[in-house]
């Protein structure tokens, strides 16, 4: 690993406003993980206890339809993060995440992140503002995708 965990976390917008001390606290319980191609980080429906930052590699998020067909939801790569939804809503995993190649990840336990945020309300505000901005951007893209899909359905129905 060329960079420290703190440096990697600092480069992710969610933690860019964290001080060096805050990043050090977060890094204490953050684990470095390697996945080989085809390995899963977690399965759809699993309990969620952490979210992840992709240090290197490409992963796919897959979910199943009611008929049991797997649908590739998205592909994520170096610099992205995933698995944050259950941190916010305490739900189960909404999809399966699988490595498309050898991947290096940072695993951030929810419990430790929550404890860090609970200890500093100003820090928590910055974090939640960052994650809200991120989620709004994702919702805008989803809205565009849905509009496009509806237009295609009208044309070919």
The Cα 106–Cα 81 span in angstroms is 9
Q: 86 CB contacts (<8 Å, ≥6 apart)?
A: 48, 51, 92, 93, 110
Into how many domains does the chain fold? 1
Q: What is the pLDDT of residues 101-116, one digit of tens each?
A: 999 999 999 999 999 9
pTM here is 0.83
Q: Give me the pLDDT at residue 4, please.
A: 86
- pLDDT tens track, the chain, 157 positions: 577 889 888 888 888 888 899 899 889 999 999 999 999 999 999 999 999 999 999 999 999 888 888 888 889 999 888 999 999 999 999 999 999 999 999 999 999 999 999 998 988 998 999 889 888 988 898 888 888 888 888 888 7
Q: What CATH number corresponds to the domain at position 69?
A: 2.60.120.10
Q: Give me the pLDDT at residue 1, please.
A: 56
Q: Give me the pLDDT at residue 125, please.
A: 92
Q: Give me the pLDDT at residue 39, please.
A: 97
Nearest alpha carbon to residue 96 among 65, 60, 135, 137: 60
Whether 5 and 32 have beta carbons less than 8 Å apart is answered as: yes
74: containing domain: 5-156
């Amino acid at each position: 690993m060329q960079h420290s965990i703190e440096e990697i976390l600092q480069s992710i917008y969610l933690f860019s406003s964290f001080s060096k001390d805050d990043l050090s606290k977060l890094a204490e319980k953050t684990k470095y993980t390697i996945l080989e191609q085809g390995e899963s980080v977690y399965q759809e429906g699993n309990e969620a206890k952490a979210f992840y930052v992709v240090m290197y590699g490409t992963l796919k998020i897959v979910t199943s339809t009611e008929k049991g067909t797997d649908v590739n939801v998205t592909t994520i790569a170096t610099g992205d993060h995933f698995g944050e939804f259950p941190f916010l809503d305490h739900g189960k995993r909404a999809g399966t995440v699988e490595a498309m190649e050898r991947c290096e990840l940072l695993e951030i336990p929810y419990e430790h992140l929550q404890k860090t945020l609970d200890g500093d309300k100003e820090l928590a505000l910055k974090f939640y503002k960052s994650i809200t901005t991120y989620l709004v951007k994702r919702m805008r893209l989803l809205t565009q995708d849905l509009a496009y899909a509806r237009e295609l359905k009208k044309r070919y129905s």
